Amino acid sequence: MSGTRAAAAAAAAAAATAASNDRAPHPAAAAGGGGGGLKRLRSEPGGNRVTVVLGAQWGDEGKGKVVDLLATEADLVCRCQGGNNAGHTVVVDGKEYDFHLFPSGIINTKAISLIGLRDWEKRLIISDRAHVVFDFHQAVDGLQEVQRQAQEGKNIGTTKKGIGPTYSSKAARTGLRVCDLLSDFNEFSSRFKNLAHQYKSMFPSLEVDTEGQLKKLKAYAEKIRPMVRDGVYFMYEALHGSPKKILVEGANAALLDIDFGTYPFVTSSNCTVGGVCTGLGIPPQYIGEVYGVVKAYTTRVGIGAFPTEQINEIGDLLQSRGHEWGVTTGRKRRCGWLDLVILRYAHMINGFTALALTKLDILDVLEEIKVGVAYKLGGKRIPYFPANQEILQKVEVEYETMPGWKTDTTSARKWEDLPPKAQNYIRFVENHVGVAVKWVGVGKSRESMIQLF
């Protein structure tokens, strides 16, 4: 649906019932008086909890697969940030599904084989507060990359999906949201024209077929109208109404976070845990499990420092064995050893409650495996992950070398099936990050995810 991709496709809203009646008795009075009758805000153990799945590296860790696994237990699967820059591949019954904007959990229904557009429409809810990515945002993304290359001799290597320009419009308060698209179309048209005009004055080569775009947008508005809800009220109901299990599918990853990532070589949203609260209107105390998804080695798409990158036969082997091609852009992913410095850093920000370690099977053929355990500058260990990219480019990585297990793990289905050297690798990661590994991935399918506890 080019033209109306919602930048932050979020879950949204059942009718606004709660908090709308200003004559309702005070909750304490309703409960028979006394503060004890007030509904506790913090979720009770076993009560409504939000489970979050986040990327702990530079993306493509296998978040889609973990979400697919957890979605069978969830009532609601939400995306909260980013847009169709994400590419999540899920393999079910040998069939591969690629998701960009829709939550991967959408395939987990009773009728997987019957999914057609009608089905998607019935099960997809779009927040009225989601920002709309226009075609010109996407065109500007490309033009900005050309400009960066010309001015600075390098670009970011964005996915060219319009993410940066849309978040810029949002921050400049000139963006347009789904609620605007569905309200007064004359008002929407005039704001759309102003925004297009602003971009055209910044990029004279930009061509916008304003009338053609508006015609398309009007048709899209009617198509999505039945799916749009007030996201805040919908989420409130989901948290407080009949028990609902909510699963949040993070996109992108910690090191791509606009604030905590390897800025400026990052995306434009908060892909760390805070993005869940700001993207969905969920109070932090409702968040329960925060699962960090970690690839057993490291990959990165696009430009930017990558301390453990292997531009050699090891990198080539990881790339080809791991089929490391971007799902969204088809670019080759850069590959390197696992970096525990970035994992500890990602954990500091996200507070992971457990990890999913994916693609362990890709390491099956290696004689020895290196793991980055610390960074050094000028020969001295530094106890932090540098914020400045020029400094990060200069760090030397201290590695620990572990013996490879040289055994096929793809048919392992429980901990005991894994070779002891692979078990050591997993325990090493747990000990260095300080978080337990709950799942180990040894293949693409749902079944090839070993659950450890």
3-state secondary structure of 288: strand
Rounded to the nearest 10°, the torsion over CA 259, 260, 262, 267 is: -50
List 26, 68, 88, 230, catalytic entry: 88
Determine if 253 is a binding residue for ligand IMO (CB under 6 A): yes
CB of 253 to ligand IMO, least distance (A): 5
Please, which of residues 319-348 interact with ligand GDP by CB under 6 A? 327
138 or 213: whose CB is closer to ligand IMO? Answer: 138
**For residues 81 and 358, which CB has a smaller minimum distance to ligand GDP in the complex?**
358
Which CB atom, from 188 or from 265, has the smaller least distance to ligand IMO?
Answer: 265
- Clarify whether 60 is annotated catalytic: yes
25 token code pair: 């008795």
Report which secondary-structure segment, H or E, holds 339.
strand 338-339
When asked if residue 165 is in the footprint of ligand GDP (CB under 6 A), the reply is no
Q: Return the one option of ligand IMO, Mg ion, ligand GDP, none that residue 161 interacts with (CB less than 5 to 8 A, by type).
A: ligand IMO
Closest residue to ligand GDP, judged by C-beta, is 441
Which of ligand IMO, Mg ion, ligand GDP, none has residue 175 at its interface (CB below 5 to 8 Å by kind)? none
Of 60, 128, 180, 230, which is the active-site residue?
60
Specify the DSSP element, H or E, that contains 141: helix 135-152
Inter-residue long-range contacts of 211-216, CB under 8 Å, 24+ positions, other chains counted: 213/3, 213/134, 213/135, 213/136, 214/189, 216/3
Q: How many CA atoms lie within 13 A of 96 on its CB side?
A: 7
How many Å apart are CA 63 and CA 327, to the nearest integer?
13
85, interface contact from ligand GDP, Mg ion, ligand IMO, none, CB < 5-8 Å by kind: ligand IMO
Exposure pattern of 39-49 as b/e (b: 16+ CB <10 Å)?
A: eeeebeeeebb
Out of 83, 231, 279, 443, the only residue in the binding site for ligand GDP (CB under 6 A) is: 443
CB of 256 to ligand IMO, least distance (A): 5
Smallest gap, in angstroms, from Cβ of residue 427 to ligand GDP? Answer: 18
251 binds ligand IMO (CB under 6 A): yes
Residue located via tokens 């050297």: 421
Q: Which parts of 266-295 interact with ligand GDP (CB under 6 A)?
A: none
Q: Which stretch binds ligand GDP (CB under 6 A): 28-36, 81-89, 345-353, 422-430?
A: 81-89
Q: Using CA atoms, how far apart are residues 12 and 234, in angstroms rounded to an integer?
A: 5
Number of residues that bind ligand GDP (CB under 6 A): 21
Looking from the CA of 243 toward its CB, the CA atoms found within 13 Å total 9
3-state secondary structure of 119: helix
Residue 6 dihedral angles phi and psi, to the nearest 5°? -80, 125
Using CB under 6 A as the binding rule, whether residue 86 contacts ligand IMO is answered as yes
In sequence order, what are the beta bridge partners of 53? 249, 291
Question: x/- contact string, 353-392, with ligand GDP (CB under 6 A)?
Answer: -----xx-xx------------------------------
The residue (of 169 and 252) whose beta carbon lies closer to ligand IMO is: 252
Q: What is the DSSP letter of 308?
A: T
Does 59 help bind ligand IMO (rule: CB under 6 A)?
yes
298 binds ligand GDP (CB under 6 A): no
Residue 157, number of CB atoms within 10 A of its CB: 17
Buried b (16+ CB within 10 A) or exposed e, 263-288: eebbbbbbbbbbbbbebbbbeeebbb
Site for ligand GDP, rule CB under 6 A: 55, 59-65, 87-89, 91, 327, 358-359, 361-362, 441-444
Site for ligand IMO, rule CB under 6 A: 55, 59-60, 85-88, 156-159, 161, 163-164, 251-253, 256, 267-268, 301-302
Q: Which residues carry out catalysis?
A: 60, 88
